[in-house]
Amino acid sequence: MTKDTKTHIGIIGAGYTGLVAAYRLAQSGCQVTLLEKTNELGGLAADFKLHGAHLEKFYHFTYKTDNYLIDLIKELGLEETLHWHRSSIAIYYKGQHYPFMTPLDLLKFKPLSIFDRIRTGLIAFYLQRLTNWKKIASYTAYDWMTKFAGKNVRDIIWTPLLKGKFDKYYKDISMVWLWKRIKVRIDSKEKGEPTERLGQLEGGFYSITNGLVEKLHEYRVKIVTNAPVEKVIKNSATGEITVVTPKSEFQFDKVIITTPSPVAAEMLADNQEMTTEYLRKLNYVNYLGAAVFIFSSRQKLGDYYWYNINDPQASFLVFINLTKLVSTEKFQGNYVYYIGAYVPHDHEYFRLAETEIINRWVSYLKKMFPDFRDDQLLEKHLFRMRYAQHNMDVGYEQHIPSYTAPAKGVYLANFSQIFPDDRGLNYAVREGDNIAKLVLGDIRNEI
């Protein structure tokens, strides 16, 4: 490769990591081809239209601490459309709605004894000030809360969250994951305010996705949709990398894979340069899927934006009243709600008909909100994704695959590598930037 030769880079996956990496590499003069298995761009931020407005299929918002995402919003000229709203949170437990935002709310939370309420507050105070996650890395969240919060607090507050988020793996999840989730929310609060402020763009995350796509067109990035990659094969003799899809083969100098790790393992398994250890790390990462029901209604349900469902009999984790956070005006005056659940790939939610899941969840909503009326429902949409949340168990950091694969010129960038951080579009943007910098550094070293 000479200084006059443009490096041709293939990027597999058009989520935000892939889109941002493509943008940065094309900005730096590389020839880039982006391959996406579906006909949609944006990955977890993919959208659809509800009452004429763009809306994410899987609920998202922006934290005050999302510096990488906010910087990208500014770069795309969207800063004026980003508005910050005060969140509101409640717990649904044994038929009751409990506000759960302030120390006073905690002190009034009757399902816990006064001793347990004080204990819970002290634990939250400790975790939000903890900076060295290695102090808690040897504990699962379940065991740590058992030891320091007690069984009653664990079972009422934390076990429903862990079960709802990680299903049958709930006892295996590292305490580091729970600490990070708590800390991000606390750090997003304005001084003196009871809850975090969450950002929403006027055009939703579609504004960012569309802005990135416009940049890719400007830099002549080739975008190929409906192109599921089957294999990535490195030719050790020529250094060329072949990416195989059902309809075509593509030749690249370098390839970045942004898919979930087990999917990457299938693509790379036939390479002679691959090692058993690297493939083991790729396959070590275990993922849960997500099912999300979005509906609109003429009816206002509840007084809070976010409801944690702390009922072991519930068939979903969270109920979100989006139009408690943003105006109904965007949706022609209607209220918009999300229901979400995380489940293993073998769960019935990936087999049942959409109507069966929707009917089950609507039935539970009638327990939460006795005045719920079916005749007020308008649009109903159900979306499912198999790779939504990766599990982080104790010692997870020892199994993280490197960004550089053993097959030279092949790179991996996905959420499995960002520990102790959890998934989020902010980190997708960061990883897109980071993998682009790594690849550009390697290109410079090779010239």
Domains of the chain (ranges plus CATH)?
8-60+205-285+397-446 (3.50.50.60), 104-186 (1.10.3110), 197-201+287-390 (3.90.660.20)
Give pLDDT, residue 4.
41
Residues 6+ apart with CB under 8 A from 298: 334, 335, 376, 378
**Cβ(179)–Cβ(127) under 8 Å?**
yes
CA dihedral sign of residues 414, 420, 423, 425: negative
pLDDT for position 3: 43
Nearest CA-CA partner of 99 in 223, 176, 195, 180? 195
**DSSP character at residue 167:** G
- pLDDT tens digits, residue range 415-430? 999 999 988 999 999 9
Q: Under DSSP, is residue 423 helix (H, G, I), strand (E, B) or coil?
A: coil
Cα 444 from Cα 447, distance rounded (Å): 5
Q: What are the residues facing 198 on neighbouring strands?
A: 63, 85
Of 26, 35, 32, 33, the closest CA to residue 219 belongs to 26
Q: Would you state the pLDDT for residue 17?
A: 98
d(CA 23, CA 17): 10
> DSSP per residue over 59-106, as a string?
---EETT-HHHHHHHHHTT-GGGEEEEE--EEEEETTEEEE-SSHHHH
Write down the pLDDT at residue 192.
72
pLDDT given at position 364: 96
**Which residues in the chain come in under a pLDDT of 70?**
1-5
Place of tokens 């504990």: 139
- The answer to whether residues 229 and 245 touch, using CB atoms and an 8 Å cutoff, is yes
Task: Give the residue among 232, 227, 244 at the shortest CA–CA distance from 37.
Answer: 227
CA distances from 436 to 23, 26, 232, 342, 442 (A): 9, 10, 19, 31, 10
Residue 2: per-residue pLDDT: 38
Instruction: Report the distance separating Cα 318 and Cα 237, nearest Å.
Output: 53
SS3 215: helix
pLDDT for the residue numbered 5:
62
**pTM confidence score:** 0.94
Question: Residue 188: what pLDDT?
Answer: 77
